[in-house]
Amino acid sequence: MFKDKKTQATCSVVLLAGLLASDIAFAGLETSLVGIKMKLMTVILPLLSVIGIAIAAISLFTGNPNAKQHIVYAVLGCMLGFGAQAIVDFISQTVR
């Protein structure tokens, strides 16, 4: 779809900034951070998880020799992404 990685990265940053701009525009620092966290956890992370698992499934169905590795990466990414808040809470409780 894109000619090079630089164009793809630029489009990704612009898209992410567009998704998060409304949360930042009319809020203070703390509420904007909470808004960004909620947008990441409720919109972006599930979307990326579905895309990752779909790519892994397509890889499996097409007979790609690296399909098992793609599935493992997709599942690990989902586990780390959805478990990130629990990891942060655990570390903050341990430090206190």
Residue-wise DSSP of 12-53: HHHHHHHHHHHHHHTS-HHHHHHHHHHHIIIIIHHHHHHHHH
Separation CA 63–CA 47 (nearest Å): 25
Whole-number average pLDDT of the chain: 80
pLDDT of residue 27: 57
Say yes or no to pLDDT of 80 above 90: no
Which pLDDT value is given to residue 29? Answer: 61
Mean per-residue pLDDT, 3-13: 74
